[in-house]
Amino acid sequence: MQSVTKLRLFASPDERQMLFATMERYNAVCNAASPIAFSERQFSNIGLQKRLYYSIRETFGLSAQMAQLALRKVASGYRSTKEAIREQNKVLAALGKPLKSLPEISFRAHGAICYDARVLSLGRNRVSIWTLDGRIHLRYSKPDHFPAVATVKQTDLVYRDGAFWLYATVETPDVEPAEPTEYLGVDLGVVNIATTSEGEVFSSAATEKVRQRYGRLRGILQKMGTKSAKRKLRQISGRERRFKTDTNHVISKRIVCVAQGTKRGIALEDLKGILLRTTVTKVQRERHHKWAFHQLRSFIEYKAYGVGVQVKVIDGAYTSQQCSACGFVHPDNRPTQAAFLCHACGHTENADLNAAKNIAARALVNEPIAVCSPDIGGEVESQAYKEHAAIHGSMPPTLVGGS
């Protein structure tokens, strides 16, 4: 399994200048190669190296390996951007909105440098790192969760908030996940960040309070526009994001621990593209677009994989409208954001808990449950609805025309 760990570097003033100079030269190479890659649509590592390797070496004086790594950064940057735009355009095309085109990429002077084992080696307490003036050896600090048995595959040197960091991609021995007989369903949302099928709720009240506080503060400082206000804006930049990241770490760890302790898998719904598919009011727009559900899902997946807990992602269509007791599906089953009331069997409970139970049940089925679109007379019939009849010998009453 691969994971990314942050390591802080401790450098003297002279060593910092060496790292800055290396960053500036490395990203100057990227900015020189980017227009050529963009104009020639050359986004292959090998193709870009064949086209520019010798000229880059001669012009900028980088070592052979660093020149290749810089060109790989340009190629991978275009490929990832192209893939992201392709996914966005799929949703935009379905909504009938204008499509986006691939932009030319530029790189900051102090942007990240990608290192590999040939130009960086990680020791027990020090790191040996290549610079324009030769290798330097720096002391670093590592977190308590840094694995004792691990292989460092790739490392990015990043300058952030006045300090140098190494983002190390660490590979640890795989833990083969056991095939579970049950799943812990997790419903992700905006009001409640996560709700499990056991009824545990992780509210977004704390993160919403932080968002509103920093939103008001940014508005005041931007309106002032003074040098001290701009300096304060730089100081608070990223605090809200780091708070949400820490919250997602806590929630994901709790969910994985519960699943591991009960020897169950974890079932999540696929929410890819939901921010582009849904519309909200202007008041809710900022909160909606800052919904970090993808980050929480990725945290759950890599933490679960590390301890051998299986994660299954299912089609989440109609999980909020389907009754977890009888399987009946209808939009009127959810009269409010928090309430669920089945119009077929009368079952009532919290809407997020009901959805989490449906997610857990669907994970036990090899194929996702197919649900018809509620566009004919208001009548909806799902696979779970049919299964109810097969098990109980009768169909629950059908709701027609929304009555």
Q: Does the pLDDT at position 164 exceed 70?
A: yes
- Closest C-alpha to 363, from 197, 202, 252, 200: 197
Q: According to the model, what pLDDT value does residue 145 have? A: 67
- The DSSP line for 301-352 is HHHHHHTT--EEEE--TTTTTB-TTT--B-GGG--SSSEEE-TTT--EEEHH
Distance, CA of 271 to CA of 376 (rounded, Å): 26
**Could you state, in order of their start, the residue ranges of all structural domains in the chain?**
2-171, 183-314
Q: According to the model, what pLDDT value does residue 61 have? A: 87
Name the residue with tokens 């990314």. Answer: 4
- Please, which residues have CB within 8 angstroms of residue 272's CB and are 6 or more apart in sequence? 87
pTM of the model: 0.66
Please write the tens of the pLDDT for every residue from 27-55. Answer: 999 999 999 999 999 999 999 999 999 99
Please write the tens of the pLDDT for every residue from 15-30. Answer: 999 999 999 999 999 9
Output the CA–CA distances (angstroms, integers) from residue 43 to 36, 78, 111, 282, 328, in the order listed. 10, 6, 20, 38, 49
330 near 401, Cβ under 8 Å? no
Which uninterrupted H or E stretch holds 81?
helix 64-95
Q: According to the model, what pLDDT value does residue 157 have? A: 95
Distance, CA of 262 to CA of 391 (rounded, Å): 27
- Tell me the torsion sign for CA atoms 323, 329, 333, 338: positive
Q: According to the model, what pLDDT value does residue 138 have? A: 95
How much is the average pLDDT of 140-164?
A: 80
Please write the tens of the pLDDT for every residue from 260-278. Answer: 999 999 999 887 766 656 6
Q: Does the pLDDT at position 386 exceed 60?
A: no
Please write the tens of the pLDDT for every residue from 165-181. Answer: 999 888 777 677 778 88
